[in-house]
Amino acid sequence: METKELLRHIDHTLLRQTATWEDIRELCSDAIRFETASVCIPPSFVRRARDYVAGKMKICTVVGFPNGYATAAVKAFETADAVENGADELDMVIHLGLVKEGKDEAVLEELRAVRKACPGKILKVIVETCFLSREEKIRMCRLVSESGADYIKTSTGFAGGGATTEDVALFRTCLPPGVRIKAAGGIRTLEDAETMLQAGADRLGSSAIVQLAKEKAQAKRG
């Protein structure tokens, strides 16, 4: 796959706790230059980033990040606030404790509350696969599909485990065609990215791929 095509699937991501506005601005500039799918940034920077990109780039932010154990009401408020500030896409973390307890209706209620808070926006549900059994992953595919969310996402990248091709392939077999997959966590090379897309992912969350593209472009000029 050509690097330019691959970049169209990237959510260019910066979520580290010490990120500054200067870091976010540079992230946005690189995303515009390399035509990524979006930038994925902390909620506190959404409004400034929206104004800075001026419609040239989609703004994605996170909800309930990274642990997911806020109440459904808090997540819905976070979502509505992000939308008001200019977010186009929301990546929310599920309540893993509810999943482990088998409280599927409570999980679904939370997902629907967040979905209701961002009408017309893209919603991605982070299920943190490194903590889930195969059976739980399959259940989450069903719940995400029933909730009306647009994507299931593998990982936050903050839990010690990231995306695997096995999980992406499993999700693809369990999801209806209209629900897409975002792989995130540990995608550090162009080969990693292409492998995830081949396994069935449509979006990739990565902080490294654009830097590799920059280095590749510089090498060609040199």
Catalytic residues: 91, 153, 182
Distance CA 202, CA 38 (A): 13
In one letter, which amino acid is 31? A
Token match 């419609």: residue? 55
Q: How is residue 153 annotated by DSSP?
A: E
Written as one string, the DSSP assignment of 54-122 is TTSS-EEEEESTTT--S-HHHHHHHHHHHHHHT-SEEEEE--HHHHHTT-HHHHHHHHHHHHHHSTTSE
> Strand 122-126 and strand 89-93: pairing?
parallel
Q: Quickly count helices (H) and strands (E) in the chain.
A: 10, 8
Distance CA 93, CA 133 (A): 17
In one letter, which amino acid is 164? T
